[in-house]
Structure 1
Amino acid sequence: MENFVFHNPTKIIFGKGTESSVGAEVKNYTDRILLCYGGGSIKKTGLYDRVISSLKENNIEYVELSGVQPNPRLSLVQEGIKLCRENNINFILAVGGGSVIDTAKAIAVGVPYEGNVWDFYIGKAQVKTALPVGTVLTIPAAGSESSNSSVITNEEGWFKKGLTTHHIYPVFSILNPELTYTLPAYQTACGVADMMAHIMERYFTNVKNVDLTDRLCEATLRTIINYAPKAIANPEDYTARAEVMWAGTVAHNNMLEPGRIGDWASHGIEHELSAIYDIAHGAGLSIIFPAWMKYVYKHDINRFVQFAVRVWDVDLSYTSPEEVVLEGIRRITKFFRSIGLPVTLRDANITEDRFEEMADKCTNYGKWTLGNFVKLGREDIINIYKLAK
């Protein structure tokens, strides 16, 4: 086990009706905010009205920024930064899923910075300070409601990059599983793949003697595998929705990371798919992760055997460790397909004509490698895209 520091400052407010407390929570920080959200769904469900009512009850003034898209865009971030500066705003409230929260975080670091906020995402500058962010979560998936990361897409060249800094942990996040009842089945499934990927990126590590976090990862994965189909089959099953929602937060709030060094190659490989083809991040991960597994499992076959047996209940009586591993990969692929996700690039109508371009982008044209479990170069990444066909 590696040395570690665990610190997560996000206050979680979980349960039925908890969005009614949003105004009181904001009041602890300010009386003037930027309200950031996506399309019209929060208005159709009545959530927008409840949030506005709570803000008004607490005398919170607000300026709105709507229109956040999946794979959130840099141009809207820059619009939000301008609004905050023009209106002397010092707090951002994100009401939505990971794209909305990531947009809010990007605005939060951009407002006090004199340069281009994209500098932080390409490593040209380091975050020194940020506005506080609060969230009302509507889509369990990215875990951004309690993480120190944000991912933004730059339309100039369609580059999708992530930022990690302790300055962007939300100060509070409100999680009401009832708010997820109206999610379409496909969106629920994409969220499930995203949170599973967050766990698996941490699970596949070269660090030895991390049994406690191994088992926490396995338990969280098994919870998702058990409850996700129930949430999709019966969207108003509160128990299933609650289990999935909390699992999504745990998957990416670093609780599963202490003492480990995660991999994160699959995320880098997938980011190029969703940047260029604008597919849902979770759908890209359900395609890439099984392909990555097929490509790297021989590096540590015992860890993959453990994954297959403990997470997917593969019987150890198979004729060889390799058969156990391959059966585990078949089962995760079958699970993704069973909840309506693509598992090949063909399923997503993605052809192979841009494999080299995507591999160039995620390795800075061959200058970088991806991943820690196995270091992957440009040709490795092309091969993984080919395995995903």
Structure 2
Amino acid sequence: MIQSYDLYMPVHLVFEKGRVAELPKLIKGYGKKVLLTYGGGSTLDCSKAIALGAKYDGDPWDLVIHRDRVKGHLPVFDVLTLAATGSDYDGGGVITNDATNEKRAVGVCFPVASILDPEYTFTVPASQTAAGSADIISHTFEQYFVSEGSMLSDGFCESMLRTVMKYAPVAIKDPTNFEARGELLAASSFGCCRLLAVGREAGAWPCHGIEHELSAWYDITHGVGLAIITPAWMRYCLKNNPAVVAPKFAQYGVNVLGLNPADGVETNAKKSIEKTAEFFRSIGITQTLKDFGIDETHFDEMADHAMTTWFAGRPPYTFAPLGREGILEILKASL
């Protein structure tokens, strides 16, 4: 039984010079301590950052920048209310620092236990259901669209994509559909646990690297940002490395989207991109970056920051060479 607790209900889940950054100090005043999180992936990621900070005497943001300074973490439990990030079944997390316009990954902190009850997601609005589904799809794409193939992993990824593309529209139309909500929750959990990458290279997760720059600077939901830039990224890859990219996009088109293999690799590769964009529109993500007040003002800063943080030291950029100019091209194509 919990005998003493502090309820924290933040309005904004950002690691700023406010309550989130101060919570680790507050928590140290308790005796036996655990963190119980009720909410979606961003809430859980915030708890992971707090749990790490509670075991560290310095500025908790240090642990985001310098993972070698991690000294452990408090036990974290969660009750998940949104299918999206997969943070309930992996050790990582993402936190935003408003003061520096940075969105960065936090160190290893696996939840002790996660409770996933589809009924707890029944009240998630259509817009967040769509954004969460787009996030799951992107997690899968980042591990599926890589230069090294694996029949088993490809099968995992294709099943994930078929599942989300089938059940996201159902959950949006019928929010209390237990089957649809359950399938999306399960897909969410498997998206980042490394199962989809068995037998293949890790990949650079390029769309996430680019989108984190967007949502660090602007108030745009992560999944929506991913849905907007993904088709532009796909077109960029097909243009710059067609020999590798076209066969995989065509495979995705046939095995997931139901395209006719008789139409050929080149045709199906192009169709798969347009069908992906069409799917995102069908679940209500119809915006471009301009709709969020985003223009080219900070694109140079975003590209520079992505290259020196997200892409620094990562595996070869998945599918197609992606340097600073490539990032800028994708961002501009998403306006």
The alignment's TM-score, normalised by the length of structure 2, stands at: 0.91
2:254 equivalent in structure 1:
309
Q: Return the alpha-carbon distance in structure 2 between the equivalents of residues 267 and 251 of structure 1.
A: 13
Matched, 1:225 2:159: no
- Secondary structure of 1:354's counterpart equals helix
User: Out of 54, 60, 64, which is 1:121 matched to?
Assistant: 64
Segment drifting more, 189-198 vs 346-355: 346-355
Secondary structure of the 1:213 match is helix
Preserved CA contact (<8 Å) 2:67 2:107 = no
User: Does 2:225 align with 1:284?
Assistant: yes
Q: 1:116 to 1:89 in 2, by over 3 A?
A: farther
1:102 maps onto 2:45 in alignment: yes
Q: Distance between the aligned counterparts of 2:146 and 2:42, measured in 1?
A: 28
Give distance in 2, aligned partners of 1:88 and 1:216. Answer: 44
Q: Give the number of aligned pairs.
A: 327
Q: 1:352 deviation in Å?
A: 2.2
3-state DSSP class of the match of 1:93? strand
Structure 2 residue runs without a partner (length 5+):
none
Structure 1 residue 59 displacement after superposition:
4.2
Aligned partner (choices 28, 36, 47) of residue 85 of structure 1: 28
| Partner amino acid, structure 1, of 2:176 | E
- In the alignment, the residues of structure 1 paired with residue 148 and residue 229 of structure 2 have an alpha-carbon distance, to the nearest angstrom, of 23
Q: Distance in 1 between matches of 2:174 and 2:311?
A: 48
Question: Which amino acid in the other structure matches residue 73 of structure 1?
Answer: F
Query: SS state of the match for residue 115, structure 1?
Result: coil
After superposition, the Cα gap between the structure-2 partners of 1:268 and 1:59, relative to the gap in structure 1 and judged at 3 Å, is closer
Residue 193 (1) aligns with residue 134 (2): yes
AA matched with 2:70:
V
Equivalent residues in 2 for 1:249-268, closer than 5 Å: 249-260=189-200, 261-268=202-209
Give 2:302's aligned residue.
358
Structure 1: give runs of 5+ residues left out of the alignment. Answer: 1-57
TM-score normalised to the size of structure 1?
Answer: 0.79
In the aligned structure 1, how far is the partner of 2:42 from the partner of 2:311? 29
- Cα–Cα, structure 1 residues 124 and 237, in superposed 2: closer, same or farther, change >3 Å? closer
Specify whether residues 160 and 322 from structure 1 end up closer, same or farther in structure 2 by C-alpha distance, changes over 3 A only. same
Aligned mate of 1:134, from 77, 90, 100: 77
Shift of 1:175: 0.6
Q: In structure 2, how many angstroms separate the alpha carbons of the residues matched to 1:86 and 1:217?
A: 45
How far did 1:342 drift? 3.6
Partner residue in 2 for 1:385: 331
Question: 1:164, CA displacement in angstroms?
Answer: 4.2
Shift of the alpha carbon at 1:350?
2.0
Correspondence for 2:214: 273
Identity %: 41
Q: Which amino acid aligns with 2:114?
A: S
- Superposed CA deviations along residues 101-155 of structure 1, whole A, max 9, x for unmatched, are 0011001111111222222222363424111100000111111111111111112
Report deviation, 1:375.
4.2
**1:323 equivalent in alignment to 2:263:** no
Query: In structure 2, what is the Cα distance between the partners aligned to 1:199 and 1:262?
Result: 11
1:61 shift after superposition: 2.3
Letter in structure 2 aligned against 1:217: C
What CA distance in whole angstroms lies between the structure 1 residues aligned with 2:25 and 2:322? 39
Alpha-carbon shift at residue 376 of structure 1 (Å): 1.8
Aligned partners of 2:219 and 2:292 also within 8 Å: no
Q: Distance in 1 between matches of 2:2 and 2:33?
A: 16
Change (3 A) 1:133 1:124: closer
> Which SS does the other structure have where 1:361 is aligned?
helix
State the 1:206 CA deviation: 2.0
Are residues 136 and 174 of structure 1, via their aligned partners in 2, closer, same or farther at CA, if it must alter by over 3 Å? Answer: same
Query: Is 2:287 aligned against 1:346?
Result: no
Pairwise CA RMSD of aligned residues?
2.0
Counterpart in the other structure of 2:121: 180
Q: Which of 61-70 and 336-345 deviates more? A: 61-70
Query: In the alignment, which of 150, 154, 165 is matched to residue 97 of structure 2?
Result: 154
CA drift at 1:354: 2.0
Q: Distance in 1 between matches of 2:47 and 2:255?
A: 38
The alpha-carbon distance between structure 1 residues 349 and 155, as it changes in their structure 2 partners (threshold 3 A), is closer
Indicate if the aligned counterparts of 1:77 and 1:104 stay in contact, CA closer than 8 A: no
Aligned to 1:16: none
SS in 2 for 1:90: coil
Work out the CA distance in 2 between the residues paired with 1:368 and 1:184. 37
- Once the two structures are TM-superposed, the CA of residue 94 in structure 1 deviates from its matched residue by 0.8
What amino acid maps onto 2:20 in structure 1? V
1:380 shift after superposition: 1.1
SS in 1 for 2:38: strand
Change in Cα spacing, 1:242 to 1:365, as seen in structure 2 (3 Å) is closer
